[in-house]
Amino acid sequence: MDTERLTAVMDSITNQTVLGELLAPVARALAKVRDTAAVSRVLSMADFVGLGVLRHLQGMRTVREQVQTLLHLEPGTALRLPLARSTWSDALSSPRRRAVLQAAMPPLLTEARALLPDRLAQFPTLKGRPVYAMDGTYQRESAHYGRCTPRQGGEDNPKGHALLSFYDVRLGCPTDVYVETRSRHETALLRDYDQSAQAMTRHKGALWLVDRAFIDAPFWDARKKRLGVTLITRMKKNLCIDSTEGLPVADVSVNEGVLKDLRITLRSSHQCWRLITFRSRRGHLVEFLTNDFDLEPGLIAFLYSRRWEEEKCFDTWKNDFSLAKAWGASVAAIENQVLLAIVTSLSLAMLLHRKMGQRGIEDKKALRKQDRRQTSKTDGTDRPDWTTPIFRYTSKMSRQVLRFFKCCFHKPASQALYEAQLRPMFLAYL
């Protein structure tokens, strides 16, 4: 393969372009990782990440589509392939590249947290604690993957590849993922993930917002005792309660809708837990289970609702990025694909904040929709009124904004370009 052709193509789409500006934080993160140059002589790590981010931005389902697009980026040289499909496939399945991507995530996240606003800064009672959400989603297998489910005598998950994703609620972005192709329960995946020294479940003092599928009292009891980690989830009907004790509910606005706050003992736990009964604006009764006794019960109910931000992230990944189907058959390929999706999400959030957020420009379309839902009596949100000012950061990136990067990634980057073509997409539908 002609590596000079690939170098020329990558230089043309990243040198002082929108894509190059988007990838600038990634380049700085890779510069802090040792031995990135030794990964390959053909496809450098920077080019690998750049092509992966571009593939997500353009929502390309197959590598053939991306290779053909690269083929015609430079008229007159289309007879020479810039990248062989086998080269990209081999790179995608490389555990060494996966290790480099994983090593580049901490410096990339450090830069993102220093730049992006704290979405929970209005709650001093949280005292700067890390607030994370986790949830699982499923990905269709690659066409090259021969699935064999337990009914067929194998171990593969009949729903597809399981992606246990982790989301930083303060940052508003995904930060980590755990991949499993076997058919296993969510709590088993959580325990496997926790074995890693870099697992987010080992962060001291973190507050977790999780689905009730992740209720594992002994696991969370151990995390609270050793690391001060607590969680908020929904109550399960089959959990056995041995005793209850009423707790006082302070008469403050944050506790609007709280009916009961009980200290309880679970048959499956040696520690005390808390059961909160909450009535939503539309009259729905919800029970929340937590082992955190420092926060107001109304704040606990509100924080659990922020877990749905991760669902918005999944929506973007599957409908706008190309994460609905695996790019490769190996676990390394799947992990590289999802790590590239996380890198894409972080890079987009940082660039949009630099170019639009710091200039006071917000996604007006999303905010108007939120305001309508807040006041609607028939099809509104269950959020209490006191939370309205907090929802000034949108969780879902609009398809119009993504379309700008899809169509303008190779254009020379300038503030004039962002003002002329990106800003209108924040203000109105085009």
What are 402-413's pLDDT values in tens digits?
Answer: 999 999 999 999
User: What average pLDDT does this structure show over 195-204?
Assistant: 93
Residue 375 has pLDDT above 80, yes or no: no
pLDDT at 41: 77
Helix (H, G, I), strand (E, B) or coil at 5: helix
pLDDT at 68: 80
pLDDT at 251: 93
Which residue is associated with the tokens 């490769």?
Answer: 328
> 193 burial class (0-12, 13-18, 19+ CB within 10 angstroms)?
buried
Q: Does domain 123-310 have CATH number 3.90.350.10?
A: yes
Listed in order, strand segments (DSSP E) in 169-318 are: 173-180, 207-210, 230-234, 241-246, 258-266, 272-279, 285-290
pLDDT at 281: 77
> Quick one: pLDDT band at residue 71, thresholds 50, 70, 90?
confident
Residue 288 has pLDDT above 90, yes or no: yes
Q: How high does pLDDT run on average in the chain?
A: 88
pLDDT at 78: 58
pLDDT at 75: 60
User: What average pLDDT does this structure show over 369-392?
Assistant: 63
Take residue 99 and report the two structure tokens written for it: 């290790």
User: What average pLDDT does this structure show over 105-118?
Assistant: 95
Q: Which range (56-70, 127-141, 387-401) has the least confidence?
A: 387-401
pTM, 2 dp: 0.92
User: What average pLDDT does this structure show over 9-32?
Assistant: 94
> Quick one: pLDDT band at residue 51, thresholds 50, 70, 90?
very high
Distance CA 306, CA 337 (A): 26
pLDDT at 366: 64
> Quick one: pLDDT band at residue 429, thresholds 50, 70, 90?
low
CATH 3.90.350.10 domain span(s) along the chain: 123-310
